[in-house]
Amino acid sequence: MPEVSDVSSPVSDIGPVLDVARGRLVTVLTGAGLSTDSGIPDYRGPDAPPRTPMTLQQFVGDPAFRRHYWARNHVGWRHVEDVSPNAGHRALVRLEAAGVVHGVITQNVDRLHTRAGSRSVIDLHGTYARVVCLDCGDLSTRAELALRLEAMNPGFAKVAAVADAEIAPDADAVVASTEGFVVADCLVCGGMLKPEIVYFGENVPKARVAEAYAMVDAAEVLLVAGSSLTVMSGLRFVRHASRTGRPVVIVNRGRTRGDEFAAVKLDAGCSEVLGALADALPGEHLPARTGVAAGNSPRPAVLPGA
């Protein structure tokens, strides 16, 4: 991946972030830029090719599109499980363990925060690992569906995988070879299945949005890492934090729609900056968070034994 011009040492750049975050509880909002160092492409990053994201309307309204989607997904979805969390994910785990990070709201569907070991994670846009029925709401695992699709389309995945190399579950590939692919319906009601992922044209479930607002409110700083905040589903938390007096720190390669709300903006990669923050913040920060309720202002006490 080509390096963006970033001549200065990121470590020397984090001073302004430390000034804002030191001694304060931080909620983190992450996007695709956090997972690029794991090898998952960021379709909105500065080096991204232009592409048209899939919409819910396409998925629901066009059986051929849906067949193509599931055929493609059947081939590609396991690639996401071959991907490993990177230094940025691990830094957030350390910051959570140190009591600096209250929780992570992620726009990524790759589950890498959870797999890295972060405990308080809101998967704002769902995850690739679950499937939802659009008719009855039944939730099931993607792994279960894989067995069904394999039984209904014996050998398809192996043959198609040869023609296919991309990772993203919504990638548009192997068009010619999806004719005849059989799509699975809900085992409970026969309804239409969809990955439990929030697509363009679709709303994040209300309860999940409320949970995310509460996570922002429970901290004193909102740190955005690796998101251009292109969609409102993420930008609204930045606006909310700013409106409620919580400083917003943005770490992202390239401009974001939230820059005007940022107290500090770092045009840099997530792995380096979050790693440097994890090195710098604990030890001068709060003891392990116990009984910090929303709205409290957790002031640092003496760190036992540190």
The smaller minimum CB distance to Zn ion, of residues 18 and 134, is found at 134
SS3 content of the chain, % helix, strand, coil (to 5): 40, 15, 45
Q: What minimum distance in Å lies between the beta carbon of 145 and Zn ion?
A: 13
Cβ-Cβ contacts under 8 Å for 158 (sequence gap 6 or more): none
Q: What minimum distance in Å lies between the beta carbon of 13 and Zn ion?
A: 50
Q: What minimum distance in Å lies between the beta carbon of 188 and Zn ion?
A: 4
Per-residue contact string for residues 138-177; x = within reach of Zn ion by CB under 5 A: x---------------------------------------
Please check whether residue 38 is in contact with residue 84, taking contact to mean a CB–CB distance below 8 angstroms.
yes
Distances (CA, A) of 274 to 86, 139, 271: 11, 34, 5
Residue 242's Cβ-side half-sphere holds a number of Cα atoms within 13 Å equal to 16
List the one residue from 133, 221, 268, 274 that touches Zn ion (CB under 5 A): 133
Q: Does 135 bind Zn ion (CB under 5 A)?
A: yes
Segment near Zn ion (CB under 5 A); pick from 40-48, 109-117, 136-144, 272-280: 136-144
Token pair for residue 224?
A: 């955005």
List the one residue from 46, 117, 191, 287 that touches Zn ion (CB under 5 A): 191
List the one residue from 152, 159, 165, 189 that touches Zn ion (CB under 5 A): 189
Please say if 125 is a catalytic residue. Answer: yes
* Site of tokens 């997530």: 270
Give the start-end residues of each E strand in the chain. Answer: 26-30, 101-106, 121-123, 126-133, 139-141, 193-197, 221-225, 248-251, 264-266
Segment near Zn ion (CB under 5 A); pick from 101-109, 130-138, 196-204, 263-271: 130-138
The smaller minimum CB distance to Zn ion, of residues 132 and 157, is found at 132
Please check whether residue 6 is in contact with residue 201, taking contact to mean a CB–CB distance below 8 angstroms.
no
C-alpha of 135 from chain center: 26
> Catalytic one among 113, 125, 240, 285?
125
Q: Number of residues in contact with Zn ion, rule: CB under 5 A? A: 8
Q: What minimum distance in Å lies between the beta carbon of 3 and Zn ion?
A: 47
Q: Which residues bind Zn ion (CB under 5 A)?
A: 133, 135-136, 138, 186, 188-189, 191
Residues with a known catalytic role = 125
